[in-house]
Amino acid sequence: MPETSPASPWRTTPLTAWHEAAGARMGEFGGFWMPIFYEGILQEHRRVRADVGMFDVSHMAEFLVEGDEAGALVDRLVTNWASRLEDGQALYTPMCRPDGGTQDDLLVYRRAANRYLLVTNAGNREDDHRWMLAAAAERPEEVTVRDVSAEVALIAVQGPGAVAAVENLADRAVGDIGYYHFREGVSVAGVRALVSRTGYTGEDGFELYVAAGEAPALWEALVRHGVQPVGLGARDTLRLEARLPLYGHELARDITPLEAGLGSFVKWEKPGGFIGRDALLEQKEAGPRRRLVGLRAEGGIPRAGYAVRRAGSPGQGVVTSGTHSPTLEVPIAMALVPRAWGVKAGDAVMVEGRGRTVPAVVVKLPFYRRPS
């Protein structure tokens, strides 16, 4: 199936025609022509928090790493400890450059000791592939890296009703799949899927990896069984409330995992180390110059790129992501601020952008945590 439309410079997914026929508001994201919303961001956001919704996230990039040294290569590439996983288990991890900046953040799935699936961000697909191939070149006979993105579609079913929605269509129980675990070979509405208990919304749910050509049949079966589509606009507000980073915002080549508050995903004790370890260790020992904080604003929405200032404190911070929270019904943001400020929950700051200044207060992250 072609990845680009003759009428558009943007890549498409196997579901693009469905979204357009359904009247979705479309837009570019990560080089793809994607649905931003169908009914509206607010309604779709609340649907996922209260019940269930599904997302086309087939724009994500997938790579197969295979061979006797597959685990060693993945461990070299990422900060987390991938080879320690069990078969059928997944993890989240940053992937760093030698200077400690973030090349990307991704999910790693261990399918076998010699076979891993890496899922990265759409906009970094080609660059990530080159990055992985360069690392693999050090052991060319023991490991291969293959970009399988065009062969795979990904549908995320998220919300309190997600388990029931998928189990209603599956040929076996899936509710027993643990968080950050997955099961292969599950038939969902007659479509063979890798069913992963993961997501990017702060809610329970699954991500369903299927052959690209099978995605429309699965999507339409879910719709027939009452699961409504949700666009990337609500996906962004959902992930922000849950404090989930977005590459290019909370993480970037000039933002390290330590600055982004992701130190728990950096495994210093991992044998053999990882790319960027020395630079990150130096930053850890000196203390990162910046730290990520949550903000709750009044009188305006802090947008990405807005300046953050604190009375009596030198320097400035920057908003990385901001929105009006549909769940909390207040403007919220994440921001990188100087560590020297020593801010804590309750401290006041000012956010400046587009000729306006609005007051904000530092709050604990995440903004939203689903009920246990």
Write out pLDDT tens, residues 183-233.
Answer: 999 999 999 999 999 999 999 999 999 999 999 999 999 999 999 999 999
| Sign, CA torsion 67/69/71/77 | negative
- The pLDDT mean for the chain works out to 96
Query: How is residue 55 written in tokens?
Result: 């997302």
pLDDT at residue 251 in the model? 98
Residue 1 banded pLDDT, cuts 50, 70, 90: very low
Q: Inform me whether the pLDDT recorded for 8 exceeds 80.
A: no
Taken in order of first residue, the domains within the chain and their CATH numbers are: 16-60+151-241 (3.30.1360.120), 289-372 (2.40.30.110)
CA angle centred on 140, ends 103 and 122, rounded to 5°: 30
Q: Map 285-311 to HEC letters.
A: HHCCCEEEEEEEECCCCCCCCCEEECC
Q: Count CA within 13 A, CB hemisphere, residue 287.
A: 5
Q: Are strands 61-66 and 290-297 parallel, antiparallel or unpaired?
A: unpaired
What is the average pLDDT across 40-63? 98
What is the average pLDDT across 277-283? 98
Q: Map 169-198 to HEC letters.
A: CECCCCCCCCCCEEEEEEEECCEEEEEECC
Q: With both helix axes pointing from N to C terminus, report the angle between 41-50 and 232-241 in degrees, rounded to the nearest 10.
A: 60
Q: Cα–chain-centroid distance for residue 80?
A: 16
Q: Taking a C-beta distance cutoff of 8 angstroms, is the pair 303, 353 a contact?
A: yes
